[in-house]
Structure 1
Amino acid sequence: MHGPQNPTPVDHATDTYDTIDWLVKNVPEPNGRVGIIGISYDGFLPLMALVNPHPALKVAVPMNPMVDGWMGDDWFHHGAFRQTMLPYILGQQATRKGEVKWASGYRDQYEEYLAAGSAGELGRRHGMEQLGFFRKLLAHPAYDAFWRDQAVDKLLAARPLTVPVMIVHSLWDQEDIYGAPAVYEALEPKDTANDRVFLVMGPWNHGQAIGNGSSLGALEFGTDTSAHFRRELLRPFLDQYLVEGTPKAHVAPVTAFETGTNRWRELSSWPSGCATGCKVKPTPLYLRPNSSAGFAAPAAGGAVFDEYVSDPARPVPYRARPIVEDSSAAGASMTDPWKSWLVRDQREAASRPDVLVYVSDVLTAPVKISGRPLAHLVASTSGSDSDWVVKLIDVFPDEVAAQPEMGGYQLMVSADIFRGRYHESFEKPRPLPAGKPVTYRFGLPTTNHVFLPGHRIMVQVQSSWFPLYDRNPQTYVESIFDAKPGDFRKAVQRVYHAPGQASFVELPLVTPKEVREEGR
């Protein structure tokens, strides 16, 4: 935006205003009403239209928008760099027509990225030091003004809201899972009459709302959820504001698909467990000795911690190998593993010695969560830096009659990564104290899920998610982009679960009575 990072008078907001102005003056047969809609980067543009809205703009629909590239969208998640975006950056910036393709010579992306070492070296091997955005990434690994000044939720929070907006979020968005809920949190307080800000959350991947929404990976929803969204929500909402004489659309302030039970919920606010009378109570799910998880805090006298060795030479894959596709490829089919990796079975990770697993008893009643889980991890490393990945998982019964292949399936409901050097400040990284417990607290992606009776709740903890995220050398260096081979060292990782040092995932839990009533 125009300001410290851009001294010119031209930015995305002025371009959007000028585009709308041109359209209403030059498109034949205009009715003077304009709507703007788009997905991903094109979902970012409807947000730019809200910065200084053109008088003709009557409605905006940002879908899976890119909002904050450092906190949890395309480029970083809590400081960990999403290095599989490098081929996308190369294709976007090397030439205007995008003729330059990523050439690797490797069948498995895991091997290619491991051989390069750091993400900085990987980019340099492809000549990316010639590209302006790559150089900016190297110059801004921390959450400094470069990132803060372009965080769209912060920009919109500081401006009035005059245009109705429908924010569309995918619960398993593999690219921009942070943006839509963050924008909703920024805009909803401005909607005092509860008639300008609308939120829709579907069981989709990135952009699936305009495709077929009957399934995602192994998950079957029993109906085309995307068609329902377009027919019952999106079209009436747009018609209300753009077609003269159209009656008011019957769209709830929040329409959220509830995974697990596989049904839509119409809600008055978010987070909310049900239409009326529900409250969401932050409730710790504790990581306990003997690989157990539960709502009772760990008692004194048990093991104080669990430990594993994190070896940068053998990082944990983010999905099953070989990883063969360009994860940022546009137009890939729904069978592309990149589009469904967030719902892939996690049993392979659970079998590794460098992944800690905590699992609850078999549930006898439904457990419903609505909102954003928070990881509260008390952990130490023998190194001076570390990454921490926390995954909240729904473990299916060993036998699922209607869909046998789902027997024992470990479904990620919500998961994210945190780069340890930022535990005190996102802007000013610090080395970690070797061998001393540190408390890490970070948000996981928004969810609306019911763990059904017969299922179990699992939490997995690990220190790499490769090659999606660049490896932490586990030795503190000024910039991980410039880490040298000798910086990458094994580390002993400990996760604590003792009184006074309890690790847990804080669940946005709907109270048991309400869960039972809603889950009948």
Structure 2
Amino acid sequence: MAPCEHTSRVAPADLWCHCRLDFDLAVVSIEDGQGRPTQREEELVASSVIVERNVEVPMRDATLTRANVFRSSGGGRVPTVLVRTPYSKDAVLGQTTTLDPFRAIDAGFAVVFQDVRGRFESDGELAIFEEATDGVDSIAWVAGQPWCDGNVGMTGSSYLGLVQWLAAAQRPPSLRTIVPINIGRPPYMHELCYASGGIFKLGYVLWLISQFFGPETARRRVSAGRADSDEIRRVLGASDHVEDLARWRPLPTLPLFLENPVAEWYEAAIRDDAASGDDPDALSEHFAKIDLPVLNVGGWYDYFLPGTLTNFTRMRENVGLEGADNEQRLLIGPWDHMLNSRSAEYDFGFAAGAAAMDFTGYQLAHFSHFLNADTKRQALLPRVRIFVMGENVWRDEEDWPLKRSRPEAWYLQRNWRLSTERPAADERPDHYLYDPAEPAPTLGGAVGLPGLVQGINVGPHDQRPLEARPDVLVYTSELLRRPFEVTGPLNCTLYAATSASDTDWIVRLCDVHPNGASRIVAEGTLRARHRNGAGRSSAVRPGGAERYEIAMAATSNVFLPGHRIRVDITSSSFPYLEPNPNTGHRLGEDGTDEIVPALQTIFHDPARPSQLLLPVVPR
């Protein structure tokens, strides 16, 4: 074993942990200066757990990464769970998305938390999307340690899920299973930067640049004498002015990005301009390489949910994996990207929380089945477990999408009605003016934004402030008399015209409560020029009616008696999505003086029946 900075039989400093020792649940704070553990708790930890900090893990090019190793003091070789993170191995414990290493040890596992290349205690330069070989090397290192029995699993959320997929595609022999949480599908660059339908996720990219890439990379540049401390201050201060940054045009000239250590990555994201999109051949090739069971975890309000569901369904279809259909698992909660089940406005109840449903225990049951010998295996988890919003209950299913769901069309009607009846012959279109200089603000849903702006904007927010705007059209059903369940992927067929040569369409499904609150359930987006699919972008004819198929995020929601179903239509969500300048030019080419307003027309007549197709579960 390579020399390490610190080896201890107590948990390291600056960590919060929940330890189950001697079958007692003890909450142990190891934070200096406050809430020190009792002597009995220290004795329990010291007698059962060894923590080795900053253990050197060499990569094939001799770059040294570093890891913290949590293992039992009882000796023996045990299966091991590897967590590879860019967010600091010393800071991940206690987060909702993080596997509790002390419970894992109690269940018969060792756990390794590793800083990826170029982050925090690890040497080298961060190479996003090039984590495959480092993942393979890390898995081989773990499997070769005297305390590992050669069976390795992986877990982690977001980037920590990305590195799992990249490593799994290389088929490392010791990797037995992965648990990717809240991460999209390949090509990852595209899904990181573009919403469904090809709209640039401006607010999320601002977070990537200003808060993910920027601070640590800038710190390293200062330490190496390649930059001064002003660079760190610029990067850290950027997220305090999100809307100012987001309004900058042309995008490629934004000073933050020009001065940022990852400017090349940002420029590549803009150049992509949604050209890649969904490539069925590339997806098939990617998943054909992966030959292991996967527990996919996501949230109804996570911005990577479409990719999470695609990963599950494509792995089940993977003909190259024997038993693939039987070994893939899916867990979806009412969560945002950090597995929170409550927003600033709404709480799905205690049982909805990741802690309440024992997310660590759920992962350990999965690892116990696929990492242990047959004699120690636990039973397989349910194939699909979802949280049904509205009724706010967990439910196990045998498939996804649900085979028993039935598509039901709900049509836009005159007088702002939403109905299962087809439109009448004398229906007239509705109009609104979309001005990119005054875009509708982001308010809830599955969004990603910098800093505190994210915390106050994610989840099932009341849409009434937006619905009062003149650039948002609102269609509402009659009062529901019985429970109405919608579970599965949604789709909107929108017949529309614009006075511009390009524009955006945003469609939202909302649950209107008896008190009038209009809570967003799901959303779909489409940049008009991408209406024909990936690689077939074309300008629209100004004033001409077009049929747009808008794929919306999946959901599971019961509209309760006394509630109403609502559809909102608009063209912007700022700053999460880049406001379309309506010029038809490629992303980043337009200055402030070039953007133009667009008159939008929504048709709902017999020949052009705009509709929302809902996956209804019979009751």
Shorter-chain TM range is: 0.7 to 0.9
SS at the partner of 1:445? strand
TM-superposition CA deviations, 1:347-388 (whole Å, max 9, x none)? 111000010000000101111111110111111001111000
- Please say if 1:361 is aligned against 2:485: no
* Structure 1 range deviating more: 67-76 or 231-240: 67-76
Alignment check: 8 A CA contact 1:215 1:221 kept? no
- Please say if 1:80 is aligned against 2:199: yes
State which of 271, 286, 294 in structure 1 corresponds to 2:419: 294
State which of 366, 379, 383 in structure 1 corresponds to 2:500: 383
> What's the counterpart of residue 200 of structure 1?
331
- How far did residue 61 of structure 1 move? 0.5
1:414-493 matches, cutoff 5 A:
414-477=522-585, 479-493=586-600
Does the C-alpha gap of structure 1 residues 11 and 105 become closer, same or farther in structure 2, counting only changes over 3 Å?
A: closer
Gaps of at least 5 residues in structure 1 are 1-9, 273-277, 321-325, 399-407, 516-520
1:2-81 matches, cutoff 5 A:
11-26=130-145, 28-68=146-186, 69=188, 72-81=191-200
- How far did residue 238 of structure 1 move? 1.4
- How far did residue 177 of structure 1 move? 2.6
Aligned counterparts of 1:30 and 1:106: Cα–Cα separation in 2 = 43
> What's the counterpart of residue 178 of structure 1?
306
Q: Which amino acid aligns with 2:273?
A: P
Aligned counterparts of 1:123 and 1:284: Cα–Cα separation in 2 = 47
- How far did residue 151 of structure 1 move? 10
State which of 238, 252, 258 in structure 2 corresponds to 1:120: 252
1:84-483 matches, cutoff 5 A:
84=203, 85-93=205-213, 97-99=217-219, 100=232, 101-102=234-235, 109-114=242-247, 116-122=248-254, 127-128=259-260, 131-144=263-276, 153-159=283-289, 161-173=290-302, 175-190=303-318, 194-208=325-339, 213=341, 217-227=345-355, 228-230=357-359, 233-244=362-373, 245-272=375-402, 279-303=404-428, 305-319=429-443, 327-329=449-451, 337-338=454-455, 340-398=457-515, 408-477=516-585, 479-483=586-590
Q: CA RMSD in A?
A: 2.9
- Please say if 1:505 is aligned against 2:612: yes
Alignment check: 8 A CA contact 1:119 1:470 kept? no
> What's the counterpart of residue 403 of structure 1?
none
Gaps of at least 5 residues in structure 2 are 1-128, 220-231
- How far did residue 205 of structure 1 move? 0.7
Does the C-alpha gap of structure 1 residues 230 and 108 become closer, same or farther in structure 2, counting only changes over 3 Å?
A: same
- How far did residue 315 of structure 1 move? 0.5
SS at the partner of 2:437? coil
- How far did residue 432 of structure 1 move? 1.0
Aligned counterparts of 2:257 and 2:148: Cα–Cα separation in 1 = 51
Task: Give the structure-1-normalised TM-score.
Answer: 0.83
Does the C-alpha gap of structure 1 residues 136 and 72 become closer, same or farther in structure 2, counting only changes over 3 Å?
A: closer
- How far did residue 318 of structure 1 move? 0.7
Does the C-alpha gap of structure 1 residues 94 and 250 become closer, same or farther in structure 2, counting only changes over 3 Å?
A: closer
Aligned counterparts of 2:262 and 2:180: Cα–Cα separation in 1 = 32
Aligned counterparts of 1:56 and 1:246: Cα–Cα separation in 2 = 18
Q: Which amino acid aligns with 1:259?
A: M
Which contiguous aligned blocks of 4+ residues in structure 1 show a shift greater than 6 angstroms?
103-107, 147-152
Aligned counterparts of 1:123 and 1:461: Cα–Cα separation in 2 = 34
Aligned counterparts of 2:609 and 2:364: Cα–Cα separation in 1 = 48
Aligned counterparts of 1:372 and 1:347: Cα–Cα separation in 2 = 24
Aligned counterparts of 1:165 and 1:125: Cα–Cα separation in 2 = 36
SS at the partner of 1:138? helix
- How far did residue 222 of structure 1 move? 3.5
Alignment check: 8 A CA contact 1:300 1:499 kept? yes
SS at the partner of 2:561? coil
Does the C-alpha gap of structure 1 residues 265 and 410 become closer, same or farther in structure 2, counting only changes over 3 Å?
A: same
Compare CA radii of gyration and give the structure with the larger one.
2
* Structure 1 range deviating more: 148-157 or 389-398: 148-157
TM-superposition CA deviations, 1:429-480 (whole Å, max 9, x none)? 2111111111110211111111111100000000111111111111222x13
Task: Give the structure-2-normalised TM-score.
Answer: 0.70
Alignment check: 8 A CA contact 1:293 1:358 kept? yes
* Structure 1 range deviating more: 64-73 or 375-384: 64-73
Alignment check: 8 A CA contact 1:378 1:439 kept? yes
- How far did residue 112 of structure 1 move? 4.3
Does the C-alpha gap of structure 1 residues 19 and 357 become closer, same or farther in structure 2, counting only changes over 3 Å?
A: same
Q: Which amino acid aligns with 1:362?
A: L
SS at the partner of 2:315? helix
Aligned counterparts of 2:236 and 2:137: Cα–Cα separation in 1 = 39
Does the C-alpha gap of structure 1 residues 316 and 377 become closer, same or farther in structure 2, counting only changes over 3 Å?
A: same
Does the C-alpha gap of structure 1 residues 152 and 327 become closer, same or farther in structure 2, counting only changes over 3 Å?
A: farther
Q: Which amino acid aligns with 2:399?
A: S
Alignment check: 8 A CA contact 2:511 2:519 kept? yes
Does the C-alpha gap of structure 1 residues 149 and 371 become closer, same or farther in structure 2, counting only changes over 3 Å?
A: closer
Alignment check: 8 A CA contact 1:306 1:496 kept? yes
- How far did residue 30 of structure 1 move? 1.1
Alignment check: 8 A CA contact 1:156 1:187 kept? no
Aligned counterparts of 1:16 and 1:108: Cα–Cα separation in 2 = 36
Aligned counterparts of 1:149 and 1:286: Cα–Cα separation in 2 = 31
Q: Looking at both structures, which has the greater relative contact order when contacts are Cα pairs under 8 Å and sequence separation is at least 6?
A: 1
Alignment check: 8 A CA contact 1:240 1:248 kept? yes
SS at the partner of 2:160? helix
- Figure out how many residues of one structure are paired with residues of the other and give that number: 470
Aligned counterparts of 1:189 and 1:130: Cα–Cα separation in 2 = 37
Does the C-alpha gap of structure 1 residues 243 and 213 become closer, same or farther in structure 2, counting only changes over 3 Å?
A: farther
Does the C-alpha gap of structure 1 residues 92 and 109 become closer, same or farther in structure 2, counting only changes over 3 Å?
A: closer
Does the C-alpha gap of structure 1 residues 90 and 152 become closer, same or farther in structure 2, counting only changes over 3 Å?
A: farther
Alignment check: 8 A CA contact 1:118 1:471 kept? no
Alignment check: 8 A CA contact 1:59 1:163 kept? yes
> What's the counterpart of residue 20 of structure 2?
none
